Amino acid sequence: MTRGDQRDRDRAKNLAKLAAAGTKKSGNPQQRREADAKALADKIAAKALAAEQAAADPKNKVGVAAKTGAVPAKK
């Protein structure tokens, strides 16, 4: 059983779909950059807070090592 031109048709169909999707960025590029920067800063702050809370948890051995910079001794 041969595929015929199915591969070519699928490739053309996919290219048409990708072209239709395009880049639908709306708004001012400067505003998008500022919004992206704010979102990234919020994400970094949330990760820093989570790391700080993990380091403060006495049950969290990894957090203590991360906080002090020391590597826990192997037993």
DSSP for the chain, written as a single string: ---TTHHHHHHHHHHHHHHHH-----S-HHHHHHHHHHHHHHHHHHHHHHHHHHHH-TT-HHHHHHHH-PPPPP-
Q: Which residues, including other chains, have CB under 8 Å from residue 54's CB and lie 6 or more apart? A: 60, 62, 63, 66
Domain ranges of the chain: 29-68
Higher pLDDT, 53 or 59: 53
pLDDT-derived band at 5 (thresholds 50, 70, 90) equals confident
Span 14-57, pLDDT tens digits: 999 988 776 677 788 899 999 999 999 999 999 999 988 888 87
pLDDT given for residue 55 in this prediction: 83
